[in-house]
Structure 1
Amino acid sequence: MERARVDHQTKHDLKAAETGTWASIKETLKVGGQALLIALVVRTLLFQPFNIPSGSLVPTLLIGDYLFVSKYSYGYSKYSLPLSEYLPFTADGRVWAANPKRGDIAVFKLPKDNATDYIKRVIGLPGDKIQMKAGLLYINDVPVKREKIAPFETTGPYGEQVKVEQYLETLPGGVTHRVIERDGDNGYWDNTEPYTVPEGRFFMMGDNRDNSTDSRDLSSVGFVPFENFVGRAEMIFFSIDEGTPAWQIWNWPAKVRWGRLFTTIH
């Protein structure tokens, strides 16, 4: 009898253990599912991560920077939301629209194919006249204030490290940011014809003025429609030296740019 009671108790304990294990698994799956749903909502509606593969926004953004882009800053368009065909877009192709501001760094879909992600700075607003003269930016025929500061070390046209001229540029409205002139003030795009920005479009430029394919090149980028904007760059959450894959965690102590982590973007 005693042996039977022991066997019965053992079976009961095993059953309880199995029930507890299954309950634990279900709870883990539930928590995991909730976390996945939250992450999906955040990425879809609030913040989307991007990484910087080119040097067009040096010195503000470097190759190897990873950043969060706020998708709600300009409202939503078919290029920033899935299932967008069911949304009540306005005439400008957006819902809850808020216009980009001069000086914003924004991600947009390249107008040429409406698919490739580009990131540049908003320089010209609808109706503005934009021109480059001897490396100096003119907005509505007024030269933008530019102050020369210490040179910046960057990659030259042949992959070599070079020191280039660096300036603080202050746009109308008060946004101050750094720009570099790798080829001095007489690079290919340092002298242009005037551009008049059409209604509903924006003029985008890189801070690396001699190494940026942007709105100055009408055949490659040109004026960017408002509906092509995906969001505004907000914060660098990770940064690693150019040429070092982010997944190589054993290189992080020496290669991560620790001072750039969690810095806001201006």
Structure 2
Amino acid sequence: MANFYSVLLTVVTIVAGLIWLFDAKVLKPKRQQRISAEEQRLQQSLDSEAQQRIAPQSNVAEFAQSVFPILFVILILRSFFYEPFRIPSASMMPTLLEGDFILVEKFSYGLRDPIWRHELIETGKPERGDIAVFKYPPEPTLDFIKRVVGLPGDRVIYRNKTLYIEPACEDSQTECPPLKVIARNLVRADAFYFNGATPLQRFDEQLGSTEHATLIDPTVGGRERFYFQQQGTARDEWIVPEASYFVMGDNRDNSEDSRYWGFVPEENLVGEAVFIWMSFEMERPESSWLPTWIPSGIRWERLGGVD
């Protein structure tokens, strides 16, 4: 089920709240009556310990009363403000590494209810260059993270490992913007980032107002035959539909993105990645007896904002 943890948290919070409410409105007055009757019989006030013996609150109600405020705050924060995510793969290298834990700003792309994800309040739209978390269109139970490349109405071309964008022409524009190549500069071609045993080339790229790094594997050839084919366009060309977005991973030759499965509908957006709050090193020698899921260290230098 999509949004499983959001649904579970919502249901548990509601159940705890209803138990607390029933206890406060129905059971607590009855307990107070029993205590008052006993105080009148004894002609003295009873301390809290004696009151608890005479009219005890059930363990379930006491537990619900203690956890509901905490669950409610977590639900509000997680649903409308910030939600933590873990980077599970290398598709966003070098910007995000496997083992990074990020905060996603949920209100960047509209406030949505935590169960059906209907937009309640419009707060903003993705901008070119944003790192967005979204529900994977072919399988909405999965959360994906990629960089926004194409906005609604844009023409996007990825040819010979070069990105071209023709921005959408607004009705108010007298002259439409031309197709332009997205400039990139080779930063390093040494063995700093790898795909298996293959050293990757690192480039700096400018998308809108965002400058970021990308990786290219020089040994990987064209994969146009695997691209998502949009009717009426070339194999390596796409026109972004209304209320949809074209996304790509920064690790261009190791990313399952819009080139292969199409566009991200607006309703699939979860939020914008804004901060790395923890980063675990997961690599260790094959001789290590520890399980692979146990971190081997902490990358303190990676903590901070995401570009």
Q: TM-score range by the shorter chain?
A: 0.7 to 0.9
Aligned match of 1:9: none
- Cα 1:122/1:83, change in 2 over 3 Å: closer
Give the C-alpha shift of residue 260 in structure 1.
1.1
Q: Distance in 2 between matches of 1:18 and 1:183?
A: 75
Matched, 1:166 2:202: yes
Aligned match of 1:181: 216
In the superposition, the TM-score normalised over structure 2's length comes to 0.65
Give the C-alpha shift of residue 33 in structure 1.
4.8
In the superposition, the TM-score normalised over structure 1's length comes to 0.74
CA RMSD in angstroms, aligned pairs only? 3.3
Equivalent residue runs for 1:2-17 within 5 Å: none
- Cα 1:243/1:31, change in 2 over 3 Å: farther
Aligned match of 2:150: 124
Q: Supply the AA of the counterpart residue of 1:168.
A: D
- Cα 1:31/1:131, change in 2 over 3 Å: same
Aligned match of 2:273: 233
Q: Distance in 1 between matches of 2:293 and 2:162?
A: 40
Give the C-alpha shift of residue 65 in structure 1.
0.3
Consecutive unaligned residues in structure 2, runs of 5 or more? 1-45, 54-61, 167-178, 228-234, 285-290
Q: Supply the AA of the counterpart residue of 1:257.
A: R
Matched, 1:154 2:193: yes
Equivalent residue runs for 1:191-206 within 5 Å: 193-206=236-249
Give the C-alpha shift of residue 170 in structure 1.
0.6
Report % sequence identity. 37
Give the C-alpha shift of residue 100 in structure 1.
0.5
**C-alpha distance after superposition, 1:203-260 (max 9, x if no partner):** 000000000010011xxx3111111100000100010013588995xx6xx6100111
Number of residue equivalences = 228
Q: Distance in 1 between matches of 2:116 and 2:255?
A: 33
Aligned match of 1:259: 301
Q: Judge conservation of contact 1:240–1:246 (CA < 8 Å) in 2.
A: no
Give the C-alpha shift of residue 184 in structure 1.
5.5
Greater CA drift, 97-106 or 28-37: 28-37
Aligned match of 1:10: none
Consecutive unaligned residues in structure 1, runs of 5 or more? 1-14
Q: Distance in 2 between matches of 1:246 and 1:69?
A: 26
- Cα 1:193/1:187, change in 2 over 3 Å: closer
Matched, 1:82 2:115: yes
Q: Distance in 2 between matches of 1:237 and 1:246?
A: 21
Matched, 1:142 2:180: yes
Q: Judge conservation of contact 1:132–1:189 (CA < 8 Å) in 2.
A: no
- Cα 1:102/1:183, change in 2 over 3 Å: same
Q: Distance in 1 between matches of 2:268 and 2:63?
A: 40
**C-alpha distance after superposition, 1:146-192 (max 9, x if no partner):** 11102362342xx33x4311110012x32110001023584436995
Aligned match of 1:61: 96
